Amino acid sequence: MTKVFVLGGTGFLGYYTIKELLSQGYQVKTVVLPPMPADNLLPHEVDVQLGDINQMSDPDIITLLSDCDGFIYAAGKDERVVPAKPAMKFYYEANVLPTQRLARLAKQARVKNFVVFGSYFAEFAERLPQYHLRDQAYPNTRLLQEQIAFAEGEGSMKVSSLRLPYIFGTMPGRMPLWKMFVDQARNQPVFPALRGGTAMVTVEQVAEAAVGAMAHGKHRGTYAISAKNMKYQEFYQMIVEALDQTGKTQVPVVPFEQMKPTYEQLDQQADAEGKEHGIHMVVSAEMQTEDLYLDPNDTKDILGIKDHDVVKSIRQTLQKSVEAERVSH
């Protein structure tokens, strides 16, 4: 039986990755920041240590990983964080440096397979160069995170990266990140969408892809996964339905030029507060005029991703976001 270390084991992605590993017969070890988000969250057979791995010494981490064959890096900060500027420094320190250190130490501990959870913005930085995403803090550092992890593994540890799109699902003790979208649409007469669309997956599919990448991925492999492509307008309409605002909230498709001043103002406001978005809002909005679609068949068979009902998962996720607001009131 192979043992795998999961970083971020009580986070949304790490929790499901652990469940998938156990279902496939792996042993699992994790270090998690206290407190646990819910009682008895992880099965008793998981080796759980409470603490901050970034505060542990190099020798202690090597000892921790010495009986592990795999490492899944299911941690980090995504583009929804609005840090103090410069954002490049924040994301470099939050995502790149810890990945480099842990990949280096994993290799010293003779870990054979290392999987990084990244972002599909790294994929579109390569596919859509006209948007200059490499100049934006978040995509830039996601690409750098991959390259540094690949380099650390060179010669003795296989390192691959999952480039993750919109992810849906729920877990005990944590509020879905989509609650912020639900809150934006609440009681609004108009909730406009831009003309593009996005790739989507369920959290179970992310977990399947992670285990698949560890077992079957190639060194320096980047896997942009998807199960369903959907227009933003359709997704926003589902938010309106979850809020029971059908007929009360219109979801028109509007031209980017109409919305551009609003997004420029958000960037200016962040700047005035000493903050910076990981992808400037005006760039993020312009990206939403594109169909940021991915072909599920590019990765499905390689990684062993199964079919799941993505629309059902979206509805359940949005419903939990709506119900949480009712409970809080």
For residue range 126-149, list pLDDT tens digits in order: 999 999 999 999 999 999 999 999
**pLDDT tens track for 292-326:** 999 999 999 999 999 999 999 999 999 999 987 65
CA dist., res. 84 & res. 323, Å (int):
32
State the Cα–Cα distance between residues 187 and 184, nearest whole angstrom: 9
| pTM: predicted TM-score of the whole model, two decimal places | 0.96
- Burial code (b: 16+ CB inside 10 Å, e: under 16) for 227-241 equals bbbbbbbebbbbbbe
pLDDT of residue 273 exceeding 70, the answer is yes
| Mean pLDDT (whole number) for 59-87 | 96
Phi, psi (degrees; rounded to nearest 5) at 4: -125, 135
Indicate if the pLDDT at residue 230 is higher than 50.
yes
Average pLDDT over residues 107-122: 98
Q: Which two tokens stand for residue 142?
A: 């996601």
Q: How far is CA 93 from CA 8, 77, 88, in A?
A: 17, 10, 9
Instruction: Name the CA dihedral angle for 305, 311, 315, 316, rounded to a multiple of 10 degrees.
Output: -30
Q: Say yes or no to pLDDT of 240 above 60.
A: yes
In this model, does residue 232 exceed pLDDT 60? yes
In this prediction, residue 326 carries a pLDDT of 58
Query: What is the separation of C-alpha 301 from the centre of its chain, rounded to a whole number of angstroms?
Result: 21
What pLDDT was estimated at residue 37? 85
The DSSP result for 38-49, as a single string, is STT-S-TTSEEE
Residue linked to tokens 């989507």: 200
Residues pairing with 230 in the sheet: 198
CA atoms of 304 and 84, how far apart (whole Å)? 40
- Average pLDDT for the chain: 96
Q: How much is the pLDDT for 143?
A: 98
Burial of 258 (0-12, 13-18, 19+ CB in 10 A): exposed
- pLDDT value at residue 1: 65
